[in-house]
Amino acid sequence: MAVSAPTSATSTSGIDVNSIVSQLMQVERRPLQAMQAKQNSLQSKISAFGSLKSSYSAIGDALAKLKAPDSFKAVSTTSSDPAVVSATAAAGTTPGSYSIEVTRLALAQKLASGAFSGVDSPIGTGTLNIQLGTFAVGIFTANGDKPALSVAISAGQNSLSGVRDAINRAGSGVRASIVNDGSGYRLALSSTDTGTANSMRITVADDDANHLDNAGLSKLAYDPAAAVGNGKNLEQKSAAVDASLTIDGVSVTKSSNTIADALPGITLTLSKTTTGTPVSVSVTPDASTVKNALDALVATFNSFQSSVRSLTGFNASTKTAGLLSGDAAARGLLGALKSTLASPIPGLTGNPSNLSQIGLSFQQNGSLALDTAKFSASFADPNVNMARLFAAVGVPSDTRVQYSGATDATASGSYAINVTQAAARGNLAGSSAANLTISGGINDTLGVSVNGIGTSVTLAPGTYTADSLAAELQSRLNGTAALRNAGVSIAVTQSAGILTIGSNTYGSASNVTSASGNAALDLLGASPTAAAGADVAGTIGGSAATGTGRTLKTTSGLAIAVNTTTTGAFGTVEFNRGYASRLSGLIAGALDSSGAFANRSDGLTRSIKDNQVQQDRFNGRLAQLEAGMRRQYTALDSMLSSMNTTSTYLTQQISAMQAQSR
């Protein structure tokens, strides 16, 4: 800090003490000015490194898409007539072209009640049991994939509008509305999904104790197998219909106009029928995501390089050095990026192993540039796995094994897969063929525990086939609030009439136990067998891996999904880190709290603190020096003043003596 000059007494000798001391202190302060200039330089370097860090970090942001394997699997779809058939395709879908003709669109079933005088007209109380399924040859077969739901109608909902709202809140797969057709208000019901497998059956537990008449809540009953007025009181306005189409001449029937399982990876949406002119749907590789990501990488790298050169170089025209001239850390960051980009990826046999092979290369001035034509040709080449060149990717040799992920600790290499225990789902298998006749109050209730969640159901009375009974039980169980709230579901299968209830999850937590209720004996026999689920077990790369459900994972984070019920050797997983993965690791390390930027910033900050300490000490010495100078020159001034007084006295005395002698 600057030292202020103390006020001195008026000089009697003619010496300007303040001026002399001030000029002398200006000379003494020159080292302090050098320290201050150095401090300003250090602060400028910190700002320069902050700017450089932002530019460097932008490269990491540009790598995000190139790190994701799915970016390289992107495809685009086109339709010759999207007003008839439109399509989307998932990443990784095999390119191709398909000819599609639509002969019929899928329709939802629609039912309507009798006329009521108003929306507030009372109906009745009780419970509506809603199921979706197929009605054919006089038999209703529940859709096992659609849960059966019960909708309670209390006294507060005992009106046409109250029933409508209760049905819509339940999420039962049925949408309710009220329509005034001129003769009165009718409750209109429509299944939310199209297709014959989503026809409605609505049975009623009426609080008036008569569930089949045309009074009370029973007015809304609709059992397609029942007689009109005796459990079939709604009127069908439109039957459920499946969509019908041909794909490359192959006839296809589907329940929905949105078809996701006819062509692998492709979802078709049918909007109209064709009139003799097939619609062509094509799937082609889409390079735009990767191209845009590479353009961003080129731009951010070149920007960073320009910043480094500007900050560390010498401008010949202005004859000035950059703020970071001679700074090895900045040049080291640029050098590490270039070295990584220029080095080939080992182990990519039969695949491009360096960037120049796909059109990304360094120019004479050190900048990056992308040859768009060369890149496009490489991306379209089915023999080029560009994802392996950039992302961290595991490629299994066996289709029963799927690469699931890795961590920064996973080393590149070939990992042999050996499964010693396949993953299994828990189930409860019957010990004898099920009784196919269900009677109300006799053998219609069953309770089970699925993955530790207890629940129970009541089956609809009737005579079933083994398949329809399995579907009925599956639909009822999956519709229970206990399983739905827990996110748990089951599948019921039959073999030779013997039912098996299986959890849909794999692993040691998967189980089905505790059969109870008056239908337990008739459905599952006297001694059903419970089999617990199991986690997959085995080795990856010769080392034991941890199994959770179907996933095996090494201690270093390499994870695979084993989609098989058998054991043994399942080939290898070739894991490697491409350029984006390697660069991301390099950048993350430099940006880390203990990385190059933090270390350099910490070093500069310490230098600034040390410099400030030196300035404070030097200012202290300057204060002492100035005080000493002032004492010396003040004393000199006093001495000269005294001498001047003496001189004046002597001069006066001599003059007096000379006057007397005359």
- The whole-angstrom separation of Cα 259 and Cα 54 is 47
Count of CB atoms situated within 10 Å of the CB of 317: 5
Long-range CB contacts (within 8 A, 24+) of 174-178: 174/130, 174/132, 174/200, 178/119
- The whole-angstrom separation of Cα 604 and Cα 455 is 67
Phi, psi of 415 (to 5 degrees): -115, 120
| Residue 5 clears pLDDT 50, i.e. is over it | no
Percent of the chain with pLDDT over 70: 97
- The whole-angstrom separation of Cα 497 and Cα 530 is 18
Residue 202 to residues 131, 219, 325, 610: CA-CA distances in angstroms? 6, 11, 82, 85
| Residue 398 clears pLDDT 70, i.e. is over it | yes
Count of CB atoms situated within 10 Å of the CB of 494: 19
pLDDT at 12: 57
Q: What is the pLDDT of residues 261-281, one digit of tens each?
A: 999 999 999 999 997 899 999
Q: Looking at the whole model, is its pTM more than 0.85?
A: no
Q: What is the pLDDT of residues 172-187, one digit of tens each?
A: 789 999 999 999 999 9
Q: What is the pLDDT of residues 341-353, one digit of tens each?
A: 999 988 777 778 8
Each domain of the chain, given as residue ranges in start order, spans: 1-71+287-391+586-662, 75-106+243-285, 110-238, 401-423+536-577, 425-531
Residue 206: burial class (beta carbons within 10 Å; 0-12, 13-18, 19+): buried
| Residue 10 clears pLDDT 60, i.e. is over it | no
Q: What is the pLDDT of residues 46-92, one digit of tens each?
A: 777 788 888 889 999 999 889 888 889 899 999 999 999 999 999 88
Residue 338 to residues 305, 334, 630: CA-CA distances in angstroms? 10, 6, 62
pLDDT at 630: 80
Residue with tokens 């990584």: 340
Q: What is the pLDDT of residues 582-616, one digit of tens each?
A: 998 889 888 888 877 777 777 777 877 877 788 77
| Residue 558 clears pLDDT 90, i.e. is over it | yes
Q: Answer whether 301's CB lies under 8 Å from 368's CB.
A: yes
| Residue 420 clears pLDDT 80, i.e. is over it | yes
Residue 112 to residues 46, 169, 176, 219, 237: CA-CA distances in angstroms? 76, 19, 10, 11, 7
- The whole-angstrom separation of Cα 365 and Cα 374 is 21
Higher pLDDT, 509 or 40: 509
- Confidence tier at 209 by pLDDT (50, 70, 90): confident
355 contact partners, CB below 8 Å, separation of at least 6:
341, 361, 389, 579
511 contact partners, CB below 8 Å, separation of at least 6:
426, 449, 450, 451, 452, 503, 530, 532, 533
Count of CB atoms situated within 10 Å of the CB of 115: 14
Span 425-531: which CATH code?
2.60.40
Q: Answer whether 533's CB lies under 8 Å from 507's CB.
A: yes
CA dihedral 232, 238, 239, 245 (to 10 degrees): -170
Using DSSP, state whether 101 is helix, strand or coil.
Answer: strand
pLDDT at 659: 79
- The whole-angstrom separation of Cα 557 and Cα 628 is 72
